[in-house]
Amino acid sequence: MSSVKGYFGKLLYIDLSSGKIEKRTIPEEDLTKFIGGRGLGAKILWDNLKKPGIDPLSPENPIIFTTGPFSGFPVPSASRTCVVTKSPLTSPVRSTYPHASTITYSNIGGFFGPELRFAGYDGIVITGKANSLCYIVIDDERVEIRDAKKFKGMRTDAFDKKILEELKDRRYKTVYIGPAGENLVRYACIIHTSARAAGRGGVGCVMGSKNLKAIAVKGSSQPNVANHKKFLTALEKARLTLQNSPSTKYWRNYGTAGYIVKSSDQGTETVRNFREGTFPEAYKIGAEAARRDVWVRDIACLYCPLACKKSGRTKGKYGGIVHDGPEYETGVMLGTNLLISDMAGLLKIIYNVDDLGIDAISVGAVIGYLMEAYEKGMINKKFLDGIDLKWGSVDATLKIIDKIAYRDGVGELASKGVKALSQKIGQGSEKFAIHVKGTELAAHNIQGNPPRALCYATANRGGCHLNGDNAQAQNFRAMIDSTGVCLFPAMDNSYEEPIISMLSAITGIEYDRAQFLKAGERVFNLEKLFNYREGFRREDDWLPDRFFEDAFTIGPKKGAVLDRAKFRDMLNQYYKERGWDTETTKPSESKIKELGLAKII
Amino acid sequence: MKENNFTRRDFLKLYGAGATLLLANKFGIHSIAWADPKKKSLKMVLVDYSKCTGCRTCEAVCSAYNNPVKINGENLLGLGNPVYSRIRVHSFNPDVDVPNVCNMCPDAPCVKACPVEPEPKTGRKAIYRDEKTQTIQTDLSRCIACGSCAKACAEQRTGVIELDPKTGKPRPICNLCGGDPQCVKHCPFNALSLVEVKTNRKFYGQSPKKIATELAKKWYGVSDLGGLK
């Protein structure tokens, strides 16, 4: 057990090239400084990749699954696992390293991370590449690498069922990739419970590059906490806070899908490849329609009173799909962004995307870009292998998704992301190739929302909507992602105090809000330093021209467009606040020292 | 051997007909309690499956309450390791969650299956119905780790009895937390309640798999439930 309370202080190191399995102690300082989850993952990545420019799909690049100090304790909504690796999707405008890319940290709910802690580990670090498709089984101390050849090509929904039959124990919690991950689609994701996804940045692609189909884990222990009584008191308060919060009720009723209509109504929705912020038909695929026609169950992650996952079954032409959704991101990126308003069709698309193991956000942006390029005559039907990729077409969307997952025909190029596509297609299409640093933007459109524009531009994993709209929010969220708790309940201000007191009680390190934010700032800066080392500079914190040129033509924010000069000023302010050089974005020596990062880098 | 031919269907039929005394004779001394109106009635934790979200908060609070720790001389709730919970949520694909907890069967097949001689003084086998709480409890010092109780429960009822992989003896079974079940109290979705045992309730005494199969059919129109057979 770790000398730092609240942890085992133990990482499982697995090298798939040699088959070597080791249990390594985590340095005490890494736990106190980087907490867990996203922070600890960033530190492990930094330690493992000693130089920039390493090919993210090479055996050297580790894929890291981390838990936080909350994981495995009955903290409400402490269900998250963080997957950290060097992204195979991102790239800088220019760099001296051909394989330069950002860090990525993809966060997944459900049950996996807590179960990993029950097994006695704070995280798993996987390096190397197996000779053939394999999977890892962890049962407390027992760790095995097993042959997975018979699962080759298996889609995630079928695999989710099959793997439990194979393991003969329902208590195993599993994460796995689908065909897209096996086929190295750059934005392949990792799936859990056949629907929850560690979606962003291509973590499933890195898993596929290691010939790793899945990880299954079950366990029976827990770490200690520093101050048991204080923890119980804080826990009780945490439970009551969420139980009594109006937001909890909202999440339960509508999930994230509640925002589909609301966001459209306020002109902040991603519509028609980010051309508009409002979709008059949004109500057809919103939460109320879903509750009426599709949803039958509210489903929660471990110890979560929010239950934002909604499952059901569709009827009609595209009916018969049993799955969850729409959520805000899936419903918008694959719905309003493509002008699709057929609920059953949308859910079939979402199901296929999850089943194949593709990030719904990135693939939505890729298809939106292709639809626009096709409409504008920059590409023709031949380029699209005969697919008539018109706005709003469910059939064409389903076809193109298959092409991407199997990297067939047009799917070969499209599997590399919107940046790669636009570089090939050219003709000024870069203007509406919606990405930052190669990561496609998400379901929040920004012509009328400058703070969210800053959020996308400055996210360390590229175009991320969860990054936070200002430096302080970013530090807070980096810390939330490091504790193992979900961001959703933490969006409610009343949950902040219980989170901070639970963290103090578990670790025995007294945090106040300022210290909590400081730890988040340290995490954010280490990620930034990783990217800076790879060659990312200020020019990479920039948005596609669309946001500065194409004002919304409909909706309450009609006429809204970003202003380049104002946005530049916003960024200047942001870098100053961060203590980074406004020319290069390099974190200053004094900032590095202040955060205790000098020795590390 | 006549008892062995007495099926659950017969039992339900008889129970429905109110033939309580006859049953009391059949099931022996340990089930007389519920049959006698002067004695306490049997209670159990009932699940409303339509409300359960599979969050497993019940597991954590059960484990925390039933595995207290002593710190500085003070008895405190434990940290809620779900492995030691007496209620277990079984999750399926598609999304169906079935919390499984002792149904407090009046005929207690687990007790009947126990081959350990009753203790002369108390009449208790190694697994027995506790007089005070009217719940099924175990005496691990007398348990011979044969697994008969778990097998009987799995074959005839819910399969809630789990054997500790290290000792082969049953893990503790729901004790209703002294009348105030923590799972009921803390379920964020009010999916659990403390009710009188009624064996004619829908899903009474059925395995999670069986319950989930029926629910999946009802909710999703799907009969092929993934995972384990």
Q: Do B93 and A194 touch (CB under 8 A)?
A: yes
User: DSSP class of residue B221?
Assistant: S
One domain for residues A522 and A405: no
One domain for residues A426 and A497: no
One domain for residues A326 and A354: yes
Nearest Cα of chain A lies from the Cα of B74 at a distance, in angstroms, of 10
The last residue of a domain, from among A440, A467, A487: A440
Dist CA A360 CA A188 (whole Å): 9
One domain for residues A295 and A368: yes
Structure tokens at A293: 């026609």
Work out the average pLDDT over A49-73.
98
One domain for residues A415 and A465: no
The last residue of a domain, from among A406, A440, A474: A440
Dist CA A147 CA A249 (whole Å): 45
Dist CA A271 CA A275 (whole Å): 6
Identify the closest residue of chain A to B50 by CA–CA distance: A297
Work out the average pLDDT over A293-299.
97
In a domain, A580, yes or no: yes
Helix A360-375 × helix A343-356 angle, to 10°: 120
Residue with tokens 């009895």: B161
Q: Quick one: three-class SS letters along A445-498?
A: CCCCCHHHHHHHHCCCCCCCCCCCCCHHHHHHHHHHHHHCCCHHHHCCHHHHHH
Q: Determine contact, residues A174/A112, Cβ cutoff 8 Å.
A: yes
The confidence score (pLDDT) of residue A532 equals 98
Low-confidence ranges of chain B (pLDDT < 70): 1-40, 226-229
Beta pairing partners, B135: none
- CATH number, position A159: 3.60.9.10
Residue with tokens 């010092």: B141
Q: Whole-prediction pTM value?
A: 0.94
One domain for residues A211 and A259: no
Work out the average pLDDT over A239-248.
97
Nearest Cα of chain B lies from the Cα of A509 at a distance, in angstroms, of 19
Beta strands in A231-300 (DSSP E): 295-299
In a domain, A232, yes or no: no
- CATH number, position A343: 1.10.569.10
Phi, psi of A259 (to 5 degrees): -85, -10
The confidence score (pLDDT) of residue B39 equals 57
- The Cα diameter of chain B in Å comes to 56
Omega before residue A498 within 30° of 0, cis: no
One domain for residues A127 and A38: yes
Instruction: Give the other-Cβ count within 10 Å of A558's Cβ.
Output: 14
Q: Do A305 and B55 touch (CB under 8 A)?
A: yes
Q: Do A229 and B220 touch (CB under 8 A)?
A: no
The confidence score (pLDDT) of residue B227 equals 57
| Residues whose CB is less than 8 angstroms from the CB of residue A201 and which lie 6 or more positions away in sequence, other chains included | A85, A87, A89, A90, A102, A104, A105, A106, A187, A439, A461, A462
Query: Residue B108: which of B39, B33, B184 has the closest Cα?
Result: B33
What is the b/e burial string over A327-362, where b = at least 16 CB atoms within 10 angstroms of the residue's CB? Answer: bbbbbbbbbbbbbbbbbbbbbbbbbbbbbbbbbbbb
The confidence score (pLDDT) of residue A2 equals 79
Count how many domains chain A has.
Answer: 3
Dist CA A213 CA A133 (whole Å): 6
pLDDT digits (tens, 9 = 90+) for A441-492: 999 999 999 999 999 999 999 999 999 999 999 999 999 999 999 999 999 9
One domain for residues A254 and A403: yes
- CATH number, position A532: 1.10.599.10
Dist CA A559 CA A586 (whole Å): 35
**Could you say which of A220, A221, A228 has the minimum Cβ distance to residue B69?**
A228
One domain for residues A290 and A411: yes
User: DSSP class of residue A269?
Assistant: B
In a domain, A226, yes or no: no
pLDDT digits (tens, 9 = 90+) for A391-449: 999 999 999 999 999 999 999 999 999 999 999 999 999 999 999 999 999 999 999 99
Q: Name the residue range of residue A202's domain.
A: 10-218
Q: How far is CA A109 from CA A405, A484, B28, in A?
A: 24, 9, 49
CA dihedral A346, A350, A356, A361 (to 10 degrees): 110
**Could you say which of A111, A161, A222 has the minimum Cβ distance to residue B81?**
A222
The confidence score (pLDDT) of residue B224 equals 77
Q: Determine contact, residues A314/A273, Cβ cutoff 8 Å.
A: no
Work out the average pLDDT over A505-534.
98
Dist CA A48 CA A24 (whole Å): 14
Q: Do A160 and B226 touch (CB under 8 A)?
A: yes
Pairs of residues, one from chain A and one from chain B, whose beta carbons lie less than 8 Å apart: 106
Identify the closest residue of chain B to A196 by CA–CA distance: B95
One domain for residues A166 and A285: no
In a domain, A2, yes or no: no
pLDDT digits (tens, 9 = 90+) for A179-209: 999 999 999 999 999 999 999 999 999 999 9
The confidence score (pLDDT) of residue B226 equals 66
Measured between beta carbons, the chain A residues lying within 8 angstroms of B186 are 239
Q: Do A298 and B53 touch (CB under 8 A)?
A: yes
One domain for residues A348 and A257: yes
One domain for residues A482 and A338: no
Phi, psi of A555 (to 5 degrees): 85, 180
Nearest Cα of chain B lies from the Cα of A449 at a distance, in angstroms, of 35
The last residue of a domain, from among A167, A201, A218: A218
In a domain, A5, yes or no: no
Measured between beta carbons, the chain B residues lying within 8 angstroms of A312 are 219-220
Q: Give chain A's mean pLDDT.
A: 98
In a domain, A344, yes or no: yes
Omega before residue B94 within 30° of 0, cis: yes
In a domain, A71, yes or no: yes
E strand or H helix at A381, and its extent?
none
pLDDT digits (tens, 9 = 90+) for A97-117: 999 999 999 999 999 999 999
In a domain, A234, yes or no: no
pLDDT digits (tens, 9 = 90+) for A353-371: 999 999 999 999 999 999 9
Residue A467: exposed, middle, or buried by beta-carbon count in 10 A (0-12, 13-18, 19+)?
A: buried
Query: Residue B206: which of B26, B46, B71 has the closest Cα?
Result: B46
Per-window interface: A 286-345 vs B, CB < 8 A:
296-305, 307, 309, 311-313, 322-324
Give SS3 for B178. helix
